[in-house]
Amino acid sequence: MLRRLPPLNALRVFDVAARCDSLTQAAQELCISQGAVSRHVQLLEEWLGLKLFVRQRHGIALTADGIAFRRIVGDSLGQIEQGTRQLQRRTDARRLRIKLPPTFAIKWLVPRLAHFHARHPELDVQITTSHQHADFNREDIDISIQARPHTSDALDEEELFGEVLVPVCAPTLLQGDPSLRLPADLANHVLLCSLNRPNDWPAWLQAAGLTQIDGNQGLKFENAALAYQAAANGLGVTIGLEAFVEQDLAAGLLVAPFTLRVRTDGAYFMAHASDRPVPEAVRLFQAWVREEAAAMRRV
C-alpha cells in the first residue's frame, strides 16, 4: 500500500524556512531562489489545506498549525538523519579503500586477494592504482602500499619486503638465436623495462660487470606489469622484481636465464594515516598482508 505523503522536497524546504523565519535566508541555505522557496511552501500548504506561515514586514512567522507541523516534520527528519548516519557508519566500517602502484596490484595483491576475501567476505574492498604516493589528508583512502628508498617520518608505515632485481624472459627465447646463455648475450637482445623504473637495468648490468650495455635502450612501458607481459610474449628480456615475477616463474610463463640477483636500496611499505584511529578493516588487511609477505620471504 502506497504511503500518502506530502511532497518530500517541500517538507525539507519548510523545515529550513521554519527554522530561519525567513524565505530569503532559507533560499540562501538551500542554494535556490526565494521564489522557489515560496513555491515549495505554497505547494505544501495547498496539499495540507492549512496555512503554515503568515507573512510579516520583516520575514515570516509560523501559524499554530505551522508550529505543530514543524514539530512533526523536525522529529521525522531527525530520525531519518540519525538512521542514515548509523547506516553510513556501518558502511564505512565495512569499506576498505586501498591505493598502491599498478604492478604491485596486478602481480602481487590481486593473485592473493581471493584469500583475503574468503577470510573477510564482509569487507567491501576498493582498489585504486597510481605511482603517486598517497596523501591521506586529500584522498579518500584508508591504506596505501608504496615503493620508496626508506621509511617516511610523516607516515605510520612498515616495510613489507625489499626489491630484488632479476632478468626474465619467455622460455622460447632461450631456445632461439641469438644465444642467451651468458649475461653478455643481453647485448644482442631487446631490453624491456618500465618508464617508472629507469635505474633497474643499469643497476643489474653494473653488478654483472656489463657497463658497456646501455640499460636505457630498448622498449619502455608505462608500468612493469606491461613489460612482464611483453617478455612473456617473447618480445625481449625484462628486468623484473623477484616478488612480482615469482608466480610467473613457478608457472613457467617466464624463466630467469641468469643466477645473479641484485638487491636495490628500495622497498615496499604499507602505510596508513597516523593522525586518526585505525579502523578494524585496516587492521585486518594489515595483518593479512604481513602474513602473505612473510610467507613469500620464507619461500
Q: pLDDT of 196-240, one tens digit each? A: 999 999 999 999 999 999 988 889 999 999 999 999 999 999 999
- Please state the pTM of the whole predicted model: 0.69
The residue behind cell 541555505 is 29
pLDDT digits (tens, 9 = 90+) for 112-128: 999 999 999 989 999 99
pLDDT in the model for residue 290: 94
Residue 267 has pLDDT above 90, yes or no: yes
Amino acid, res. 178: P
The answer to which of 117-126, 150-159, 290-299 has the lowest mean pLDDT is 150-159
Which of 198, 177, 172 is CA-nearest to residue 189? 177
Nearest to 297 by CA among 254, 263, 253, 257: 263
User: Quick check: 158 pLDDT over 80?
Assistant: yes
Within 10 Å of residue 228's Cβ, how many Cβ atoms? Answer: 25
The answer to whether 260 and 183 are in contact (CB under 8 A) is yes
pLDDT for residue 1: 64
